[in-house]
Chain A
């Protein structure tokens, strides 16, 4: 039994390889980008608009509202990163209903890549907002003694992000795989449904946590209690 789609290699040439993780990621990317292109190609600025446009608008506005609720006052600035995170993880989970598909988020490489992106994006957004000095100063708050702990916190939460998503997605796929081999068909279907729910929740948690980290990085004036509490709540849920 494969634990990760990384192990399914279609082509390899030295260091370069084409495994199921990358192929399925491209598939998801194609679906998302081509779907967006098809819908946004004939966007209506008028009051009357297509159902697909309504769906996309609902998704985009929903994401923006979530970002705003976390504490980011200019959601349009962060929606490309955070929204893409959510849509990618959600689409990766949603596609588990397709037979033969393995979610790329079930690969630790993918979740690590996403977590690394968050790890890099958080200081970039922080520096953009407060300047290099201002951002670095946040590591020494409230005292210089907190500097190593803050750095450890930064690394550990990235690791937690990667492992949390990987663990949830991998376990879901794994359980379905095991159940398929030992039980009749009905029970794996129920588990697939549960896996869909778990996947959507994970997508939400991953993007919201990224938003919370960015919100914490960009402004020290904002009450930190709200993002921290959200972070803690989400951790409790998982």
Chain B
């Protein structure tokens, strides 16, 4: 079998052309694509590793921040609890003070009310006493209260002596204003004349008197001049009466405020 040297040459050239063509159209593009892909994979792996490292760092940062946040939260909570406790104590104190003040005010109001009641009772008692006395005197002795009061006052006036008499005499004589005779009831003209006469005789002078009716006056009749005073009073009678009534009243008002104070204090302390 002879070798055809033309065919050998042609085939060698053909093969070399094939090598060049395949190098141009097959190996280079394919290897380039593979290299590009491998580079991209390597880049993406490096990028992923970098991102993972970043993520780990960020996770650590967040963890640290979270820990700090928890710590701060615990501190703030503790602080807020302390402040709330202090505020609670303060509010409780204020509430107690307010309750005490209210209780005190209530007690004051009760005292005031009691005093007013006492005054009212005194006045009513006085009126009643005067009324009863007037009626008894009228019925039994056939005389008037005003007459008897005036008589007693005049007797007391005439019975004055010593320093009291001299002081009052001096005051009546030296006073520029009229001396004032006050009475709880209106004095009839006869009694006014009797009093005027008795004063003139007692102090041996012509004294100008001014008669006034003062319903609030506890005593029956009083004479005042420049700060000096002489009076017939039923205060002793009233004092004993007031004492008796006062003891009776003290039992009830004391019991009520205590129960009320308790009922107000309970919601604050709960």
> A residues engaging B (CB < 8 A)?
3-4, 6, 15-17, 19, 21-22, 25-26, 29, 32-33, 36-37, 40, 43-47, 49, 53, 56-57, 60-61, 76, 79-81, 83-85, 87-88, 104, 107-110, 112-114, 116-117
Contacts and interface: CB of A to CB of B under 8 A. Distances in A.
B249 interface: no
Contact of A36 (B7, B17, B25, B33): B25
B56 interface: no
B33 A45 contact: yes
B26 A60 contact: yes
Contact of B11 (A57, A61, A83, A113): A113
Interface of B: 1, 3-12, 14-23, 25-27, 29-34, 36-37, 40
Given A3-B1, A45-B40, A36 B26 contact: yes
B27 A43 contact: no
Shortest Cβ-Cβ A-B pairs, 5 listed: A113-B11, A109-B7, A36-B26, A80-B23, A40-B29
A47 B37 contact: yes
Contacts of B8: 109-110, 112-113, 116
A56 B3 contact: no
A180 B1 CA distance: 23
Given A45-B40, A61-B34, A80-B19, A108 B3 contact: yes
Contact of B12 (A29, A44, A88, A113): A113
Contacts of A29: 14, 17-18, 21
Contacts of B11: 21-22, 25, 104, 107, 109-110, 113-114
Given A22-B14, A36-B26, A109-B8, A4 B33 contact: no
A114 B14 CA distance: 10
A16 B25 contact: no
A114 B15 contact: yes
A43 B33 contact: yes
A104 B15 CA distance: 12
A84 B15 contact: yes
Main secondary structure of the interface of A (DSSP, over half): helix
A107 B31 contact: no
A6 B122 CA distance: 162
Contacts of B27: 60, 76, 79-80, 83
A117 B16 contact: yes
A80 B22 contact: yes
Given A17-B6, A107-B7, A56 B26 contact: yes
B37 to A, nearest CB: 6
Given A33-B22, A40-B25, A88 B31 contact: no
Nearest to B41: A47
B7 A21 contact: yes
Contacts of A116: 8, 12
Given A32-B22, A36-B22, A116-B12, A16 B6 contact: yes
A30 to B, nearest CB: 10
Given A6-B4, A49-B33, 15 more contacts: A6-B7, A16-B6, A37-B25, A40-B25, A45-B37, A57-B33, A80-B20, A80-B23, A83-B27, A87-B22, A110-B7, A113-B11, A113-B12, A114-B12, A117-B15
Nearest to A120: B12
Contacts of B19: 80-81, 84
Nearest to B5: A109
28 contacts: A3-B1, A4-B1, A17-B4, A21-B11, A22-B7, A22-B11, A29-B21, A32-B18, A32-B22, A40-B29, A43-B29, A53-B33, A56-B30, A57-B30, A60-B34, A80-B22, A80-B23, A84-B23, A108-B1, A109-B4, A110-B7, A110-B8, A112-B8, A113-B8, A113-B12, A114-B11, A114-B12, A117-B15
Contact of B15 (A37, A49, A53, A113): A113
A15 B8 CA distance: 13
